[in-house]
Amino acid sequence: MLKLLKVFASGVSTRKISKVLENIYGAYYSPQSISRLIKVTEEEIKAWKERAFSEEYFAVFLDGTLLSVRRNGVEKEPVYLALGIKFDGSREILGFWLFGSEGESAKNWGKILRELNRRGVKKVQLFITDDLPGIENVIKMVYPGSEWPLCVLHTVRDSLNKVRVKDRVLIAEDLRRIYRAESEESAKEGILRLRERWGKIYPKVVKKWEEKGYALLTFLRYPKEIRQFIYTTNEA
């Protein structure tokens, strides 16, 4: 069934799927039967997407990824994903959302957060995201008591993409001293070192680490055992 859905999502018609199944497996499913199977699956997905949530989560990861989506044709669209971690360490995919082919936006994340709140999520200690413009504000509007750890790996990659190739190794080492520091104090010293070495050459890169240090270093306030799980959305 999963393979059938993947083929359908890629834009293949139910009639063509019927012929492929018959040619490969020797089993005949009419286009109408395939449509019914897909409809049943869509109804199950809808019920899953409308289920109630737990009241509290230790962390919720928010991230978007581009996937091919079948509508009138097949287009790349941002799929909004939310994954929650409970206080016992268990993980739960809270949902996925599509808003069309426009780029990822904080406005749409605001809609998602209000939906999560409406469906039962009342308290989240950490929302972990990349530095999408406006994302911190929409989180604070819906969950004012939550912390906002900015994804470190997204920021590192963005920083390295903005420097000359010949400097990347050295800057990567200096950035590593920041996010691999043992304490928040040591990390702040690393940011000062970054300014001393690179502030005049790459002022915008350094400014980002200085101005967003409060969010980039949030994970260092937590026990070492769990830091790797909350300093980047990639660990989700």
Closest CA to 130 of 145, 148, 114: 148
Give phi and psi for 217, each to the nearest 5: -100, 5
34-73 per-residue burial string, b: 16 or more CB within 10 A, e: under 16:
beebbeeeeeeeeeeeeeebeeebbbbbbbbeeeebeeee
Q: Please, which pLDDT band fits residue 34 given cuts at 50, 70 and 90? A: low
Per-residue pLDDT of 138-154, as tens digits, reads 999 999 999 999 999 99
CA distance 144 to 142: 6
Portion of the chain with pLDDT greater than 70, in percent? 83
47 vs 82, which has greater pLDDT? Answer: 82
pTM for the whole thing? 0.77
229 vs 235, which has greater pLDDT? Answer: 229
CA distance 109 to 106: 5
Neighbours of 211 (CB within 10 A): 10
CA distances from 164 to 157, 173, 206 (A): 13, 15, 14
Per-residue pLDDT of 46-68, as tens digits, reads 877 778 899 999 999 999 988 87
What pLDDT does 97 receive?
A: 92
